[in-house]
Structure formats: C-alpha cells, structure tokens
Amino acid sequence: MAKLGFIGLGIMGKPMSAHLVKAGNEVSVYDLNPAPVQELASKGASACKSSKEVAQKSEIIFIMVQDTPDVEAVLFGKEGLAEGVKPGSIVVDMSSISPIATKEFAKKLAGMKVKMLDAPVSGGQVGAENATLSIMVGGDAEVFEKIKPYFQLMGKNIVHVGGNGDGQTCKVANQIVVALNIEAVAEALLFASKAGADPVKVRAALMGGFAQSRILELHGERMLKRTFNPGFRIRLHQKDLNLALQSARSMGLSLPNTATAQELFNAVSAQGGIDLDHSAMVLALEKLASHEIKG
C-alpha cells in the first residue's frame, strides 16, 4: 500500500483526509493550523510540520487549499513539496485553481520526474463528509487509474476529463452552472414570496417538476430557513468566477450571466457577507426588491 500525504485540512480537506485514514492507509498530514493536524493524528495519521516533511514521507500527496498562490506555495515555496519530493511521486491537487497555472505546475513537477493530477471537487462540506464528492480529473490516464481507488474513498462521481488543466477547466464550468442556478432559485423564490404565495409550498411543487435540482433542494431550503452558515463560502465562489471571467476574456468569450452572478456575490460581500454560504446570494436580490423571502 502506498504511503499517502495530505496537505490542507480545512472544512473540505479534513473530512477527505479522514476517509483515507479510516480506510487503513498510512497518511502523513500538514496544515498551517495545528488543530486539525492533531485531530487527524488522534485518528491514526502521522502529523507533519511542513509540506516538505509530508513529501519526504509520502509517495502520493494530495493538496486541498484555497487558491492558486496557496498551491504554488505548497509546491514550490519555502519548506514546500519541491524541497522533499522524491522522483516517481505523484502530486494530486484537489484545490480549485487556475487551469493555466495548473499546466505550468505540472510542467515544473515533470522536470523533477514527478507526475501531477488536477482533481478539483464539487459537493461542498456535506459531500466531503459523506464521501460523495464529484471529482473532475486532469492528467495522464495511467496515473488517474492508479489514484482512482483513493478517489473512490472520497467521492462517487469520478471522471477523467483529459490532460493537465482540464480538471480545473471542468471545475470552473461547474461553478458557472452552480452560481447561475443559485441565482435562478433565489429569483424564483423571491418572485413567489413577493407575489404573496407561500415560497415553502412553491419550492415543494417545483421539486416535483422539471425545475428540480440539487440547488433548489439544498440551497432553496437554506434561503427559506435563513441558514447561511458556510458549506461553501461566497469568497471562494467569487474566486472561481474570477477564474471563469478572466479565462473568458483571454479567449474573447462573453459570459454575461456569470458576470451578473459575480456582481450579486460582490454586493453581498460589500455588506459584510463574504464568508456566508454562497446561497446567501439571495440577500442581494432581496435588497434590490426591498423584500425578504418569508419561509
């Protein structure tokens, strides 16, 4: 059995790495916050003091951090993976970052005789905790097959999309779909409530028709119950939509509704809601309507 490493033990990374430990794997873990490191160590993981140490102890290293600069720091910064990784190792970045940067990281690692997969996920904290994440993978097909058994401990819908960077491109596309669906559900429930209908019953009716979706099911309920504690924070979705809009601009592509969704997230952030769940996009629409959905 391969020696595994896991770097980044936040609301997603901690449960994901815990599944690997629970399955009986030897897992070395590291995070800037020592608390989850110790928690995982109490469950059987090996606590490390740096990304370099994780690399020295591991053959396959998973990364789950917030943004492109964070991944770069883990890989090539001081006490980073590059200082301790062994030729023949595999790095699996499960963060959601720039597809362009991902391709550059993969090239640099290849020069060190290290293979890389980009494997961003969808499903949020609930999916991470229940091991039901969707995992979108870019990289060499042979490497993907080698890592797939570990992906299956963390997720259910696991798709090899293509080469390095294609997993990240797929994740950006996913985040466009999610953002626009949140916006659609928010508008629909706001419309129903403002018109005097019971939005709870409207949502129940929609759940049985063609408008049914996971966003309507989960985030529609959040909007009705006003439970905006984060499963996936607005600031992280803003980061993903920035990647979409920047990439679209470089390709001469217009994404008008993605831009609108980003502006709604920006409005909520400006009011202090940057760390609310992304379903809180509804707050911007409610402010425009001078009406709060009554659940």
Residues known to be catalytic: 171
For 33, 66, 100, 243, the CA distances from 247, given in Å and listed in that order, are: 32, 19, 9, 6
Identify whether the C-beta of residue 232 lies closer than 8 Å to the C-beta of residue 219: no
Both tokens assigned to 294? 């009554």
How far is 282 from 76, CA to CA, in rounded Å?
A: 39
Closest CA to 16 of 97, 106, 135, 118: 135
Other C-beta atoms closer than 10 Å to the C-beta of 275 total 14
- Dist. CA 231–CA 250, nearest whole Å: 31
Distances (CA, A) of 5 to 12, 28, 29, 150, 187: 15, 5, 6, 12, 43
Copy the structure tokens of residue 22: 């629970």
Q: Could you give phi then psi for residue 185, rounded to 5 degrees?
A: -65, -45
Calculate the CA 170 to chain-centre distance: 12
In one letter, which amino acid is 92? V
If phi > 0 it is left, if psi is from -120 to 50 it is alpha, else beta; for residue 170 that is alpha
3-state helix/strand/coil string of 161-201:
EECCCHHHHHHHHHHHHHHHHHHHHHHHHHHHHHCCCCHHH
Exposure pattern of 72-85 as b/e (b: 16+ CB <10 Å)?
bbbbebebbbbbbb
